[in-house]
Amino acid sequence: MIFRIAVLCCAFFCVTSCKKDAIDLKYSTVAFIEGVCINDVLVLSDTIILFCGKTSLEQGRIGTFQRVTKKVELSKTDQIMHDLSGSADALWACGNNMCVLKSVDTGRVWNPVWDAVYTSEFYDEENKTDIHKIHAVGSYPVFAIGYKNMLDGKLYVQNENPVNPFKTKPLNMGVNDMLVVDSTEIYVAGYGSIVHVTGLDSNPLICSVGNENFTGITQVGTKSLVACTQAGALYMYNGIDSVWKKTYQSSMSLTHVVGDTYGNLLAVGNGRHVLVSNNYGESWRKVRYPNSKHIRSLSFDSGYFWAGTENGEIVRFDAVQIEK
């Protein structure tokens, strides 16, 4: 009798655990931008969302979506656009062939920061890459990463001489993502390791973690950093012992990870699930989201996680469910 009760308790525990592991992640499709693969999303206000990407014909696009009127306004760009960033007095976008655009009117008009002839005076073909991430402070772009060859990524930092756009720091590895902390400290996630740079003039330092293709990196809370890998691993760095530790190994490839200030994290990849954590990345659980393999960008803004997909969706996830 006791044995039978124990078996029933184990079965009940397994069923309830599986149910908890298999719950669907609550989300809403905020917008559908037909014909645009969305590479990044930036929330400008409660009513305006900025996005960038490309069409199926490999044409660049930047656009805004008005949440009240559902109106979409699109701007054509000469290059495919990969990333958006906001600073105190401007909006920024970056893309292929060293393209950097700036807007001072909330994304209605975009002007090139440097034209192709200008950049060719400072960059030879080896240093002239497709910029995939950018970070600006005030009126100037400060950090960027780019590549044309996945094994030869570049880190760009602001040059003291404003005539020359950037100083180039070769990283001798492919680059996938970057995290800027306090506008002076940068971590670059790339093919083989994570690189740490403090300030504009210091040399890149390779962190004591390697042999993985790090595809995404984020800050969660005020001190902890979390990175994901193509092989499905998640690593955490708490800033105390200077060691990145592996906290989870999933069965799917991971492409993005984003955290908030309260310890919540969302990691997505090439599967029908996403991974969530509510304790700064110490532990993770799987949650169903069938569209996760189509996600091209992931960010946290205005209390929500936001995703842009290759089929034109702008999706919002509620952090409250992750906290439970």
Condensed to tens digits (0 to 9), the pLDDT of residues 149-174 reads 777 899 999 987 767 778 899 898 99
Q: Residue 176: which pLDDT band, with cuts at 50, 70 and 90?
A: very high
Q: Residue 324: which pLDDT band, with cuts at 50, 70 and 90?
A: low
Give how far the C-alpha of residue 207 lies from the chain's centroid of Cα atoms, to the nearest Å.
20
Is the backbone of residue 211 left (phi > 0), alpha (psi -120 to 50) or beta? left
- List, in sequence order, the alpha helices (H) in 217-297: none
Q: Does the pLDDT value for residue 271 go beyond 90?
A: no
- Nearest Cα neighbor of 228 from 243, 216, 210 is 216
pLDDT for residue 321: 67
pLDDT for residue 57: 95
Chain position carrying tokens 């007095």? 89
What span, in angstroms and rounded, lies between the C-alpha atoms of 104 and 82?
19
Residues 51-63 have pLDDT tens digits of 999 999 999 999 9
Find out whether 94 and 82 touch, Cβ atoms under 8 Å.
yes
Residues 245-265 have pLDDT tens digits of 999 999 999 999 999 999 999
What span, in angstroms and rounded, lies between the C-alpha atoms of 90 and 299?
19
Q: Residue 240: which pLDDT band, with cuts at 50, 70 and 90?
A: low
What span, in angstroms and rounded, lies between the C-alpha atoms of 266 and 283?
12
Q: Does the pLDDT value for residue 241 go beyond 80?
A: no
| E strands in 78-184 | 81-86, 91-95, 99-103, 111-112, 130-137, 140-147, 154-158, 166-170, 175-181
Residues 204-223 have pLDDT tens digits of 999 989 889 999 999 999 88
* pTM of structure: 0.89
What span, in angstroms and rounded, lies between the C-alpha atoms of 64 and 153?
30
